[in-house]
Structure 1
Amino acid sequence: MTSTAGAPPTHNTPADLALGFLTGGVIGASLTAFIGGCVVGRAPLVLTGLVLPAVYGLVFFLATLPRRVREAAVAPRTALAVIESREAVGGETSDVPVRFDLSVVPEDAPAFRVEIRQDVNVVELADYRPRAVVVVEYPPDRPWKTRIVKRPTPEWEERAAVAQVDSVPGPAMKSETPEGCSSGLLNLFGLLLGAAAVLLLFRADLFGSQGGDSGAPEPSVSSSSSTTTVTSSTVTVTSATGTVALGPGKSMLDEGELRAAVESLTQVAGRRQVLSVVVRDRLLTVVFSLTGGKRAGFDPRSLPYDRVPGLVEEAGTTVGAESPRSWQLTADGVTGSLTLMVVVTDGGSTGTLRADGRGKVLRKSGS
């Protein structure tokens, strides 16, 4: 059977290069967003890293669906081919991947030469020796997807047994087109561009530009607690408690200090309900209510700040000292209604005072 070689079609088009560039960009952007979001603890970045490849995959599927439907509708063409060479390229199982160089000679189309890779059982490998005639199938518009038919129909099997197929001159098309330098560079450039886009769009979240512009020190956060130093105060928050420690020379009895301490705590911990608040001269400690729990709690900002210095002074009168050596105020909301308990000590004497949530004295005693 004589053959006339046709020009081998190319299947590495500019559209393939553009697709590789776009895929690289999506990979770079999604990885940068996901890793960066995990490092800085930003949920929007993490979601971007997860959603972006899913959206890209969905868009790609929908965009290529018409083409794949058209390709599936094209009936494959059957032809005879002669094996020019074969080479096993690896494999440790019963099916060995083999690279075939075939000269395909269709009856009503130009002949062509193609190089394919197909798995062949070790037992059947002897049937595919060089110069053997085989039956192949291929899509007419994509001849590089040629496949050897292992179980042809009796008619084609008989034709292959008696046919003489000439070799087709010229270069062979390859079913696995090696990516050139330009394709690799475009993929790399797309990946870098996608990563750079994420870094640019989310630079405030990733690099903390807002905190840097204000000049305020940023909190150091760990998995169990966070600590923020603001001027001479230190705010520490865990899942169960929060504390504010004043610097030297300051007291919670100073005007506005207790209110400022509570506000700084709520800025770090959020507006969470608390079960109790303990105030000492330079230390504020709160116990948070369990998230989603049904236990009673109160807003620490509802404390009667302006009444605290007066309550401490009045409790000190029970031990004969207007300015006691040490004092502690406990605000308790576990029972449902907010109550205040002030305990003062001075010179071995202890005085107590109990007040309601508005700072009205209910009773006091000293010993």
Structure 2
Amino acid sequence: MGTTGQGQRDLNEANGLAGKGRSGAGRVLAALRLAVVSAVTGAALAALVVGVILKDVPVFATGGGVLVLLILLAFLGGRRGAGRDEPPALRTALARIEDLRATGGETADVPVTFRLTVAPEPEDGRPAYRVRISQSINLVDIPAYRPRGIAVVEYHPEKPWDVRIVTRPTPEWSRRAEEAEIDSAPESSLVRDPDGGEGAWCLLVLVTLLAGAALVVLLFRGELFASDDSRGTPKESSSSSSASRTFSTSTTVSGPSSSLLALGRMRVTAMELEARVDSAYVTSISIEDHRMAVRGDSARPLTETVHLQSLPYELFPGLVREARTTLGVRDPESWRIDVTPGTGAEVGPRVRVTVSGEEGTAHLDADATGRITERRAVGEAG
């Protein structure tokens, strides 16, 4: 069974060029499709985040709708692919071992890299070609494979690079392998998996995903940065003759399960009050089970104010629990948190938790980090 000759080489080269042209165009189209889908996905995810930050329902709905559409298209594409005809069965052929190299040897199955010349059957209509594969071979069977030897292989007719050595061929194919003589195919006939560069595909997905997300953030950068500035810096008077203003406001949460001790509820309520008074700097904060109130004066220097978003609200429920259980009030009827600016040698705001019951009133003090600095149990002076 010979596979040499000038005509054979010309046919190999022609088929190789045609295959490379088709695979090249297919890879370009696949890359474009993947880039578009990744960019749209990144933009949709960014729209969801931007919509939440800006509380912009149309932006949030657009991002969510695009994500749902992408999921639906992926589902329909999978259904359509599942409904196609079954791929053709693997074909059996003989192959000449051009070279082999073991790449490991710590287990019974040793990874071996083969360079083969695959000679398909004449009825397959495919000329002989070269391929490089890696396959695990049992350590006992390795001596059976040697350069210029003949092996039985299986290959995919539509993916000629998908080749696997048959380690236990049938008696008929074993006999044919012993009798066959196969000439080496030229190097130009070497076939490779066009999708083998998985790292490049992953990089393409990552870059286009980030590009789509960055585009959405750039489109809304004005609103995002303006929102951050309004939360993080105090409002200054536009004219030196503008009079200072004082303000106070409060909000009440209702319902049996709407206590401000619920995780995250205090911070959300503080953000709402900040937006209402249009200032992040206040002179006092009071928090009860279902009510939060703030007071402020724009004429006060920043060192005599409290920044609403700088407080450790997530630690306040623990302070209330500590005050209700360790200060001698066996059945607390109410609790209250008062936050005021630090005075004298104190650094940062002062947090006081007061609890009341039949035994009387007790309190504990904490600093701006939630660390308890003083306790006053029932009956103690102070």
Distance 1:237 1:49, change over 3 A: farther
Contact 1:78–1:137, Cα closer than 8 Å, also in 2 = yes
Greater CA drift, 3-12 or 161-170: 3-12
Kept in 2: contact 1:103–1:111 (CA 8 A)? yes
Contact (CA 8 Å) 1:22, 1:190: kept in 2 or not? no
Tell me, in whole angstroms, the C-alpha distance in 1 between the residues paired with 2:215 and 2:88. 46
Query: Is the partner of 1:144 in helix, strand or coil?
Result: strand
**SS of structure 2 residue aligned to 1:13:** helix
1:35 CA drift (Å): 7.2
Structure 2: distance between partners of 1:176 and 1:145 = 8
Aligned to 1:3: 3
2:143 paired with 1:126: yes
The residue type equivalent to 1:217 in the other structure is S
What residue is the counterpart of 2:160 in the other structure? 143
Distance change >3 Å, CA 55–CA 126, structure 1 → 2? farther
8 A contact 1:102–1:115 mirrored in 2: yes
Shift of 1:75: 3.0
SS in structure 2 of the partner of residue 155 of structure 1: helix
Alignment of 1:197-346 (within 5 A): 197-201=212-216, 207=221, 209=223, 212=226, 217-218=230-231, 225=267, 226-227=270-271, 228=274, 230-231=277-278, 241-247=291-297
Match of 1:13 in 2: 24
Secondary structure of the equivalent of 2:140? Answer: helix
1:164, distance to aligned residue in structure 2 (A): 2.0
**1:26, CA displacement in angstroms?**
3.7
Identity of aligned pairs, percent?
31
- Is the contact between residue 155 and residue 162 of structure 2 (CA under 8 Å) also seen in structure 1? yes
**How far apart are residue 21 of structure 1 and its match?**
3.5
- 8 Å CA contact 2:47, 2:216 repeated in 1: no
CA distance in 2, matches of 1:54, 1:123: 49
- In structure 1, stretches of 5+ residues that fail to align are 250-367
Q: Deviations over 1:68-113 (max 9, x none)?
A: x44x342332211110011234475433332211111223132222
In structure 1, distance between residues paired with 2:293 and 2:112: 70
Q: Is 1:96–2:110 an aligned residue pair?
A: yes
Q: TM-score, normalized by length of structure 1?
A: 0.51
Instruction: Report the Cα distance in structure 1 between the residues aligned to 2:46 and 2:108, rounded to whole angstroms.
Output: 42
2: CA distance, partners of 1:191 / 1:219: 32
SS of the residue corresponding to residue 167 of structure 1 reads coil
CA distance 1:210–1:134, change in 2 (3 Å): closer
Contact 2:160 2:191 in 1 (8 A): no
Match of 2:172 in 1: 155
The one-letter code of the counterpart of 1:153 is T
**Aligned-residue offset at 1:219:** 6.8
Residue identity matched to 1:82: R
Tell me the distance in 2 between the aligned counterparts of 1:217 and 1:28.
Answer: 31
CA shift in 2, pair 1:99/1:35, >3 Å? farther
What secondary structure sits across from 2:148 in the alignment? coil
1:144 Cα shift?
A: 1.6
Amino acid at match of 1:136: V
Higher-Rg member (1/2):
1
What is the RMSD of the two structures over their aligned residues, measured on CA atoms? 4.6
In structure 2, relative to structure 1, the CA distance for the partners of 1:54 and 1:123 (3 Å cut) is farther
Q: Secondary structure at the match of 1:143?
A: strand
Q: Quick one: structure 1 residues 54 and 88, their matched pair in 2 at CA, closer, same or farther if it must change by over 3 Å? A: farther
Q: Distance in 2 between matches of 1:102 and 1:28?
A: 41
Shift in Å at residue 155 of structure 1? 0.7
Secondary structure, aligned partner of 1:171: helix
Q: Which amino acid aligns with 1:218?
A: R
Instruction: Check the 8 A contact 1:26/1:191 in 2, yes or no.
Output: no
- In 1, the alpha carbon distance for the partners of 2:45 and 2:191 equals 37
User: How has the CA–CA distance of structure 1 residues 248 and 142 changed in structure 2, closer, same or farther, with 3 Å as cutoff?
Assistant: closer
User: Aligned runs of 1:50-61 on 2, under 5 Å?
Assistant: 54-55=71-72, 57-58=74-75, 60-61=77-78
Alignment of 1:47-196 (within 5 A): 54-55=71-72, 57-58=74-75, 60-62=77-79, 64-65=81-82, 69-70=84-85, 72-90=86-104, 92-108=106-122, 109=125, 110-177=127-194, 184=200, 191-196=206-211
Q: Please tell me whether the aligned partners of residues 156 and 162 of structure 2 are also in contact (alpha carbons under 8 angstroms).
A: yes
Cα pair 2:102 2:113 within 8 Å, conserved: yes
